[in-house]
Structure 1
Amino acid sequence: MATCGRRVACQVVPGGVGVRSSIPSVSVPTILLLLATGLVAGFINTVAGGGSVVSLPVLVEVVGASVANGTNRVAILMQNIIGAASFHRGGKVPWRFVGALLAPIITGAAAGAWVATLVPAEVMKRIFGLVIILVALSVLVRPSRWMREGEPKLREPWRSLAFFGIGLYGGFVQAGVGFLLLAALVLGGGLGLVRGNAAKVVTVLVYTPVTLFLFARASQVDLGVGLILGVGNMGGALVASRLAIKKGAGWIRWVLVVAAVAAATRMLF
């Protein structure tokens, strides 16, 4: 049995694809910590982005840095199943628009997960930390661009290139990818904040299984810890998606700004 993190030990599940499980050794306080962390991260991820900035430090403490990134994808998958279902029931998912984005973003996400061990994560995190600051400034300075729907501004091939790049980062790091997706969907795609969030949730849901499989093949997923965290993420996603449908875009703007500043600060410093 190999030590995975400070709080738990882990073992490879027999017959699994390099998947670990720490459930037998997870203490009750750690379970409660994971559930609370997931609740906050799931809420932030669903209406803004950057929830992984909350969950990844906790996962590093629990399972270790080498397994945290892959384990987080389990919770992300669970969270977006709930979020996508809720937005779909509310009639907010622009399915035709999302369908056109899937090929470039899945390709980018697969490539990003594959090269995750080849490029220093800090390099990409700092670059996108600056981008996220610009997103927050755009929401504050020109909020009307985020609040109303309009004609798509990104045309092919630029749209495919943009979403390939976002998928590349999402597959590589995940933390903060929601801001980039939301900016591309709202500012470039002409969607409002509510439908933009719905499209973001569905898009992440589709590419996450690909990245999760690649991390699992590299034995970088702790399934037990991921499932516990994911229960919290699902709760946060359910609350957030229902609020987004009921309350509209106004309050999302402020959650987006606060979450963006917090995430960018974490990435840059």
Structure 2
Amino acid sequence: MTAPFVATFPKAFDSTLPVMRLARAENDAGTNLALTLPDGRRASVFSNVRLMNSPKLGKQFKLLDGLLASSTATLIERNEAGYHGAALGVEKQTFVAKIVPVFRETISQTRTARAEHAARLTRTLDWNRAAEPNPVARGDLRRWLLRHSVAERIGLLMRADYAVVVSALEIGQVVVGLDNAQWEAFLNHARAVIYIHKAGTAADFTLKPSEENISASGIDHVAAYKNAHNMLDQMREDGDLLETAEHYLQAVAKFIALLGDVKAETIIGIDK
């Protein structure tokens, strides 16, 4: 007698099947979430303390980070409770639908912050072409500069005053003949020099009368120089923080894509 045919279907709930695993590790720099799927695929996200506490972006990144941690933990708990197949698929869809809007808003705020930072960097190199040194003088200074070897030029530019700085900026990196690292070093010097030059009309940097200099007048160059470098240090820190934000967003996209079983392009919103 032939045994009756019995159809078998993937189980939606089965506590005996392999499950996803989530590991959490913390140190002074931040918190790391590490995801491992049953097939061995992995993804991790490191939450940098400086990024989470930053005045401009911290609130949004904390919102995303908290939601990612809690939603991931919920999904893992469902899986450990026996959710598999179609049932787990529904939970993954819920996970993605809940976190993607917050993720995309975080991308938007980061993009805005990067654009503002780039604009501030550009403004630090703005100078008045209608003022002194005049075009003829700038041309003479450039000819003097270009008579020196490239090795000599970088030394001269790193000690350059305002007139030489703007004369070099006007013709740009290629004509001056510096490599990228040398040009970036010069730009940092140029930003400080231009800042101090502009401070020449700023009341904050005028010399204050003292017992040693009762009739003080003119610019407090020490204060202006210190303030310029504080400004540049802060801009470098802001730039580094934005790079940290970018790395975090890339890691989150991969994490959501792996856990939610969707393409990273879909998560980001750039799929065709």
Answer 1 or 2: which has greater helix percent.
Answer: 1
Q: TM-score of the superposition, structure 1-length normalised? A: 0.23
Relative contact order higher in (CA < 8 Å, ≥ 6 apart):
1
TM-score where L is the length of structure 2? 0.23
